[in-house]
Amino acid sequence: MTHTTPPLRNGGQILIDQLRRHGTRRVFLVPGESYLPCIDALNEHRDAIEPIVCRQESGAGYMAEAYGKLTNEPGVCFVTRGPGATNASIAVHTAYQDSTPMILFIGQVGNDFIEREAFQEIDYRRMFGQMTKWVAQIDDTARIPEYIARAYAVARNGRPGPVVLALPEDTLWGEAQVADVEPRPRVHAYPSQSQLAALQERLEAAERPFLLVGGSGWTQEAQQAVAAFAERFALPVGVAWRRLECFDPRREQYVGHVGNAMHTALREQLEACDLLIAIGTRIGEATSEGYSWIASPVPRQALIHVYPDPEELGRVYQPSLAINADVVGFATGLETLVPRQSPRWAATTQAARHVYLDTLVPQQAPGRLSLDKVSHTVDRVLDGRGCISVGAGNYALYPHRYVRFGGLGTSLAPTVGSMGYGLPAAISSKLEQPERPAICYAGDGCFQMNLQELGVALQYRLGIVVLVFNNGMWGTIRAHQETDFPGREIALTFTNPEFATLIQAYGGHGEIVDDDDAFEDAFRRALAFAEQERLPALIELRYDADGIAPGQRLSAIREAALDRHYTQSTKGATP
**Is position 292 within any domain?**
yes
pLDDT digits (tens, 9 = 90+) for 171-205: 999 999 999 999 999 999 999 999 999 999 999 99
Alpha-carbon distance of 335 to 228, in angstroms, equals: 8
Residues 346, 477, single domain; the answer is no
**Is position 188 within any domain?**
no
**Is position 557 within any domain?**
yes
Inter-residue contact 12 to 38 (CB < 8 Å): yes
Q: Which amino acid is at 270?
A: L
Inter-residue contact 438 to 429 (CB < 8 Å): yes
pLDDT mean over 57-79:
98
**Is position 136 within any domain?**
yes
pLDDT digits (tens, 9 = 90+) for 276-286: 999 999 999 99
> Does 164 have pLDDT greater than 80?
yes
Residues 149, 200, single domain; the answer is no
**Is position 497 within any domain?**
yes
> Which residues have CB under 8 Å from 550's CB, separation 6+?
261, 363, 371, 372, 397, 398, 401, 402
pLDDT mean over 465-491:
92
Q: What are phi and psi of 257, to 5 degrees?
A: -95, 115
Nearest to 540 by CA among 510, 562, 571, 574: 510
Q: What are the E-state strand segments in 81-129?
A: 102-108
Residues 149, 16, single domain; the answer is yes
pLDDT digits (tens, 9 = 90+) for 364-376: 999 999 999 999 9
Residues 508, 382, single domain; the answer is yes
Q: Compute the mean pLDDT over every residue in the chain, rounded to the nearest whole number.
A: 95
Residues 329, 407, single domain; the answer is no
Expressed as residue numbers, the domain containing 326 is 193-359
**Is position 573 within any domain?**
no
Helix (H, G, I), strand (E, B) or coil at 499: helix
Q: Report residue 140's pLDDT band, with 50, 70 and 90 as the boundaries.
A: very high
Q: Which of 311, 326, 359 is the last residue of a domain?
A: 359
Question: For position 190, what pLDDT does the model report?
Answer: 97
pLDDT mean over 136-161:
97
How much is the pTM? 0.95
Residue 424: CATH number of its domain: 3.40.50.970
Question: For position 231, what pLDDT does the model report?
Answer: 98
Alpha-carbon distance of 173 to 446, in angstroms, equals: 39
In Å, how far are 142, 181, 261, 549 from 286, measured between CA atoms?
Answer: 44, 40, 10, 16
Q: Which residue has the higher pLDDT, 567 or 330?
A: 330
Alpha-carbon distance of 485 to 337, in angstroms, equals: 53
Residues 490, 390, single domain; the answer is yes
pLDDT mean over 98-115:
87
pLDDT digits (tens, 9 = 90+) for 402-451: 999 989 999 999 999 899 999 999 999 999 999 999 999 999 999 999 99
Alpha-carbon distance of 76 to 234, in angstroms, equals: 41
Question: For position 568, what pLDDT does the model report?
Answer: 76
Q: Is the dihedral of CA 41, 44, 46, 48 positive or negative?
A: negative
Residue 265: CATH number of its domain: 3.40.50.1220
pLDDT digits (tens, 9 = 90+) for 245-264: 999 999 999 999 999 989 99
> Does 574 have pLDDT greater than 60?
no
Question: For position 112, what pLDDT does the model report?
Answer: 73
Q: Tell me, what DSSP letter sits at residue 93?
A: H
Q: Which residue has the higher pLDDT, 4 or 139?
A: 139
Q: Report residue 117's pLDDT band, with 50, 70 and 90 as the boundaries.
A: confident
DSSP 187-250: PP----HHHHHHHHHHHHH-SSEEEEE--S---HHHHHHHHHHHHHTT--EEEPTT-GGGS-TT
Q: 172-181, 266-275, 316-325, 481-490 — which is least confidently predicted?
A: 481-490
Measured in whole angstroms, the distance separating CA 31 from the mean position of its chain's CA atoms is 25
> Does 206 have pLDDT greater than 60?
yes
Residues 201, 288, single domain; the answer is yes
pLDDT mean over 46-74:
98
Q: Report residue 564's pLDDT band, with 50, 70 and 90 as the boundaries.
A: confident
Q: Which of 176, 205, 226 is the last residue of a domain?
A: 176
Length of the chain: 575
Residues 139, 272, single domain; the answer is no
> Does 2 have pLDDT greater than 70?
no
Question: For position 475, what pLDDT does the model report?
Answer: 87
**Is position 520 within any domain?**
yes
pLDDT digits (tens, 9 = 90+) for 298-314: 999 999 999 999 999 99
Inter-residue contact 211 to 227 (CB < 8 Å): no
> Does 169 have pLDDT greater than 70?
yes
- Domains: count for the chain: 3
> Does 235 have pLDDT greater than 90?
yes
Inter-residue contact 20 to 45 (CB < 8 Å): yes
Question: For position 572, what pLDDT does the model report?
Answer: 63
Residues 59, 115, single domain; the answer is yes
**Is position 575 within any domain?**
no
Residues 19, 153, single domain; the answer is yes
Residues 170, 202, single domain; the answer is no
Residues 151, 268, single domain; the answer is no
